[in-house]
Structure 1
Amino acid sequence: MTIQRREFVAAIGSGAAVGLAGCAALTSEESDGGGEIVGETLTLTTTSSTYNTGLLDELNAPFEDRYGVSVDAIPQGTGRALETARNGDSDVVMVHARSLEDEFMQEGYGVNRRDLMFNDFVVIGGADDPASIGGSDDVVAAFEAIAESESTFVSRGDDSGTHTKELELWAETGLDVGSFGEWYQETGQGMGDVINTATQQGAYTLSDRGTYLDMQEEIDLEIQVEGPIEDGPELLSNPYGIVAVNPAVHEGVEYDLAMAYIGFITGPEGQELIENYTANGEQLFYPEALSEEPNFQQYVPEGWSADGGESNDSSDG
């Protein structure tokens, strides 16, 4: 399907320099394809939180209308979403585990990563709070208290971004997850199912704030430990990134369309849609792509430097 050059460049321009670099070939009439997008469907693998909260519907509908294309959004959790992309079965990934995103790029499967948005994680549990962690500003101590009291904890256990964060928190405690007893339950399920399971058992779990707020009126769980959005520990920050699949590795991916999509959702219109999206009167996600301050680290794995590949200095710029 042909996308008008003017509209296509506008979308990429809104995504700043990475989009322009990624689609430079489209500015020349001499390039193969003459600026055409091959195919009409963009395959997006993503996390359950962006899908279940309805955010993707809000973002994808105007993009589809503008370009006359369709977006096939597949919620899998971060680990599986990246694995699908490694196999060449996805054009672009929207995920929230920076360590896994960096690994994906270092292996050569992803290019032109962009910061997209953020929210945070929260520890939720029943009102009886058997581990007495309610109101704690130390999430590591809260996890230690859950383990010491052997209070039921429901884990996603699915290599998702949330599961990755949970394992990072357990690692901070110095405890071995493999040694936990029956109180620690790995479900292999998405966030919504895990929250429902935790509700049924009055258990604790780690959730992204967006999914919790979206389900809040349907469940009997409360936030016991807040994330940084409500002045909680920075350990519970939850940034989301978007990465195009490398067309040099998988020739069949819809790279041009992926870059148009990245340009759209990291540009003013997409970022405004993210900022204004709410559930039960609460903002679920916070836009992060547009800033007057340069942040070059978003394009490459954290700690990477041109001089040595890796640097001990992971500061922005």
Structure 2
Amino acid sequence: MRLRLALLLVLALTLVAAPGRAEDRSIVVASTTSTQDSGLFGYLLPLFKQKTGIDVKVVAQGTGQALDTARRGDADVVFVHAKAQEEKFLAEGYGVKRYEVMYNDFVLVGPQSDPAGVKGQDILAAFRSIEAKAAPFVSRGDRSGTHAAELALWKQAGIDLSAHKGPWYREIGQGMGAALNTASAMDAYVLSDRGTWISFKNRGELAILVEGDTHLFNQYGVMLVNPAKFPHVKKEDGQAFVDWLISPEGQAIIANYKIDGQQLFFPNAKP
């Protein structure tokens, strides 16, 4: 009788605990606003959950903020786009291994009237012209991958923003969607990732003016946060997400994400 009661108790505890374990299959991914604003996560994550049962909760921030979130141990995975910052994160011991996932490119967007005369393919000349004519320019100013790319372009163009920044240069400290909305309202220039631009609806008089320059390449990488530093990191489920993104299945799904027939991201994970 005692054995039977013990077995019944074990069975009851198992039945009570099972739903909790199922609900607990979730991970936190610190990522960029571009993967969120472009609609990529809205497309990818339901497919990942359908396959694995793992729910992905996204914290969408600029790349610098996303990496800081992971440095505090508040994420299981980081999925961002600023290689130098990602390699620093790894060197500090916060990540396990960086995997390249996909790429697209940045584009310089501005008013169709193009008051700074930048239309063409030379992004450095375009930045010089914007500064010389003090044409309105919106900067994300949020330590994101796009913001880092923009600052690098000013530097490569030979422009010291600390000396030349004026009312024409507006930093908003917000994500890509907000920057595009601000540029649309101001008829200003702005550097955008192509994915968010394609999905952006409030274009007003804005159009792509500079694209195709090799300086505008935009690579995305993913890393599991180091469970040796943060034991609460869900390493199995986090790694399952990383592995799925770089698998042939995940890569094909990324390639298939399109808006109005336009592909937003191009998978390039190494076999």
TM-score by length of 2: 0.89
Distance 2:202 2:143 in 1: 27
Q: Could you say which residue in structure 2 is the equivalent of 1:43?
A: 28
TM-aligned CA distance change 1:99 to 1:93, over 3 Å: same
Give the Cα separation in 2 of the matches to 1:199 and 1:255.
42
Shift of 1:247: 0.7
Structure with a larger share of its residues in strand = 2
Instruction: Please name the residue that 1:143 is paired with.
Output: 127
> Is the counterpart of residue 160 in structure 1 residue 149 in structure 2?
no
1:254 alignment counterpart = 234
| Letter aligned with residue 262 of structure 1 | V
Runs of 4+ in 1 over 4 A off after TM superposition: none
Residues in 1 aligned to 2:204 and 2:88: alpha-carbon distance in whole angstroms: 36
Listed as ranges, the matches of 1:1-317 within 5 Å are 39-135=24-120, 137-179=121-163, 180-216=165-201, 218-226=203-211, 232-291=212-271
- Name the SS of the counterpart of 1:134 in structure 2: coil
Measured in 2, the distance between the counterparts of 1:247 and 1:213 equals 37
Shift of 1:220: 2.5
User: Structure 1 residues 218, 146: CA separation in 2 closer, same or farther (over 3 Å shift)?
Assistant: closer
Q: CA deviation at 1:38?
A: 11
Q: Which has the larger radius of gyration?
A: 2
CA displacement 1:175-199 (0-9 Å, x = unmatched): 2212311000000011001001101
Whether the 8 Å contact between 2:39 and 2:199 is mirrored in structure 1 is: no
The TM-score normalised by the length of structure 1 is 0.76
Alpha-carbon distance in 2 for matches of 1:221, 1:283: 20
Distance 2:108 2:152 in 1: 14
Per-residue deviation at 1:134?
Answer: 0.6
Size of the aligned set, in residue pairs, is 250
Partner amino acid, structure 1, of 2:122: D
Cα distance, 1:54 vs. partner? 1.4
1:216, CA displacement in angstroms? 5.0
Contiguous gaps of at least 5 residues in structure 2:
1-20
Q: Which runs of 5+ in 1 are unaligned?
A: 1-35, 227-231, 292-317
Q: Secondary structure at the match of 2:56?
A: strand
In 2, the alpha carbon distance for the partners of 1:42 and 1:220 equals 40
User: 2:6 aligns to what?
Assistant: none
Name the aligned partner's letter for residue 149 of structure 1: K
Shift of 1:284: 0.4
- Give the counterpart letter for 2:87 in structure 1: D
Report the aligned-residue RMSD: 1.6
> Contact between 1:39 and 1:254, CA under 8 Å: does it hold in 2?
no
Contact 1:122 1:225 in 2 (8 A): yes
* Identity across matched positions, percent: 45
Question: Aligned in 2, Cα 1:163/1:170: closer, same or farther, shift over 3 Å?
Answer: same
Corresponding residue SS for 1:248: coil
Q: Secondary structure at the match of 2:269?
A: coil
